[in-house]
Amino acid sequence: MDDYPKDICAVTDSSTEGVPASQPPLDPDGTTQRSPEELVARAIAPVKREFLRPPPSSRTTQNNPASDANVKQPQANLVQEKKSKRQLKRERRQEQKSPLNLCPEIAKTGDVNACSYKDKCRFSHDIEAFMAQKPADLEGDCPFIKADAPCPYGLACRFAGTHKDNAPAATSNLLKKSSEVNGLSKDVQKLLWKNKMRFTKADVVVKSLGLAGPNWKVKKLVDKEEDEVGLDGSHAADKTDCKKVVDDSVDCSECPSTFPAAVNAEEACETDKLRPLKKAKLVVDEKSSDEGEGATVLEKDNEKNSAETEPADNVLAEPDRSPKISNLKDATVLEKYNEKKSAETEPADDVHAEPDKSLKIHPREKMLIDFREKLYLAPLTTVGNLPFRRVCKTLGADVTCGEMAMCTNLLQGQASEWALLRRHSSEDLFGVQICGAYPDTIARTVELIEKECTVDFIDINMGCPIDIVVDKGAGSFLLTKPLRMKGIIQAASGTVDKPITVKVRTGYFGGKNRIDSLIADIGSWGATALTIHGRSRQQHYSKLADWDYIYQCAQKAPCTLQVLGNGDIFSYLDWNNRKTDCPELSTCMIARGALIKPWLFTEIKEQRHWDISSQERLNILKEYVRFGLEHWGSDKKGVETTRHFLLEWLSYACRYIPVGLLDVIPQRLNWRPPSYYGRDDLETLMASDSAADWIRISEMLLGKVPDGFTFAPKHKSNAYDRAENG
């Protein structure tokens, strides 16, 4: 590929340099010429012949430093793999002590004495050495400069030259994420780390639904002589008092549940992580697949071996995670947290008493969300982060949903998983998506989310096809376990007042759909909306979505259950056709189409094909970078994090083909784009599928990459899969 001017204006001003004067008509594969109709039949984008270019001999750009770095990366990885964890930890410590890692408190104020840790601080306190090695400032203004408030990153900001010296320092901590909510507080994180968080509502609901199983009450006491402090701060007196707790409540923290080896909370948690799943061949029983009850041979086999390998669907195979207080200090922390939270959810007199069933909210009385005609941005792995959702909101999206979060990680207090739940103030209709394998795990997670987060609905993923999720019994594996699906939905809807929605696929195996036999029950179990991705788990993202089956399910759904379709929406015509063909559909969820062209929401609302220019696309990328710096920070780490996720997005965005270059419109999602020239150099650069060219675009917006920088997208570079969760 030709060298491109580094200056953005120079790139975008050349309107015809990208197209050679006399370009011979070539077939995309460089052989025989074909008509546009033949190309479409072969799933090849019918680009106009004057824009076609010979296919490159290699996907790697010759004599390109970024490409050379990518080639050398495997060798560097081999060297790094030989290092022990202790060595890597030592290197990280040394890196933190380098002058480039200035203490955040000192960077914020510019005062060497500002850090309270003094010599014990892990970071450097040498301001002069930091300023000598700090990279040059980036072009543009600091994203945190608002009115007279200072930047929270101070000297470490890559836009420090634009800071105002006379800004008051008192408000610096309030700026970074003042417009974001759903953060994880330290108090909650500590309780989750120590396994002392209480889930009274969830435990009561799980027990009332009969999902606790016979082992719930048949428990033996362990560590009788251990001096334990109860939840109320008092010591366990004798065996009689402990037995009363076991018999009359769901608080069995003194007992080892179904795992005898787990004699304390920490071991129980570890046992839960290693809970085995039954390994057997999944064969659908065609006779029972339409009934929606025991639909696979695996289920029948599990019923025979439930005591040794996996409990039945109505048995809670989860070690008890009720709080176990080992000292008065922890008890005091728990009491303060409970007082700080709502007294109505955990009464002081009888925390284990079952609620009055007459006061329980009926599913129809819950707050409902009307999804009809709303443009719904699907939860997208990696790329569907908060800055990307903000971009889609500015382009017309109505409903947004956070990336899929694993319930186990949330309950363990992992900060990286909780970051997936963050919400921006511009997201007026926002939900979070969770994924789990068992009713009690889901119930506790939704109770925790309702307490700590501000969301409009909670979506349960039962369609994720990724192996690591399916192997744990979550995601699309639940499609083979209808009884467990029932338990999960009932437990979640019975625990919280927020609307519970579910996302599924057509089935586990291709050609053996089963949602049509379950859809009537899903509404009665407590779900308010159901999203159906028109592919099976076995298909992943290959072939086209089966919209005829989605229509069939929507027509069978009860009036209380909203049905949303998902799959291959890539133009406003696709949207119109789906809505016209099946009026019973509430709306359509947009996933990979938004990754490739986020202005799809604008096209649907304005009912037109937007022949967007390269400069307009660049402006969208600029907005994303600004949102990313506000979210991840404007220091060195924040800039490189923004660059990483920008590159992940560009690995999808390069698949877009401008409308003016196509013989047949609109573009289809399954078309493979050939090598082509754009209408200007920037458009040609954006069409490249080379990681070196994506890096070049990032350098236009975020400056030069660090020495030794490499990038490989999480998904396969030239594959059309793994863009969404299910």
566: β partners: 533, 589
Could you report how far apart the first and last alpha carbons of the chain are, in Å? Answer: 36
Token representation of residue 625: 């970078």
644: part of which helix (H) or strand (E)? helix 636-653
Rounded to whole angstroms, the Cα distance separating 161 from 139 reads 10
Token representation of residue 575: 């949207």
Rounded to whole angstroms, the Cα distance separating 441 from 478 reads 14
**Active-site annotation, residues:** 464
The interaxial angle of helices 614-632 and 636-653, nearest 10 deg, is 140
CA-based Rg of the chain, rounded to a whole angstrom?
A: 28
Preceding peptide of 260 cis, ω within 30°: no
Residue type, 234: S
Give every CB contact of residue 367 below 8 A, 6+ residues apart in sequence.
Answer: 497, 498, 499
Rounded to whole angstroms, the Cα distance separating 690 from 709 reads 15
Rounded to whole angstroms, the Cα distance separating 723 from 378 reads 10
In our burial notation (b when 16+ CB lie closer than 10 A, e otherwise), range 98-131 reads ebbbbbbbbbbbeeeebbeeeeebebbbbbeebe
Token representation of residue 481: 């376990």
Nearest alpha-carbon partner for 656 in 623, 629, 621 = 621
| Residues 726 and 461: beta-carbon distance below 8 Å | yes
Nearest alpha-carbon partner for 667 in 32, 18, 36 = 36
530: β partners: 502, 563
DSSP assignment of 345-365 equals TS-SS-TTSPPPGGGSPPGGG
Burial of 401 (0-12, 13-18, 19+ CB in 10 A): buried
- Count CA atoms within 13 Å of residue 657 on its CB side: 25
Q: β-pairing, 423-424 with 180-181?
A: antiparallel
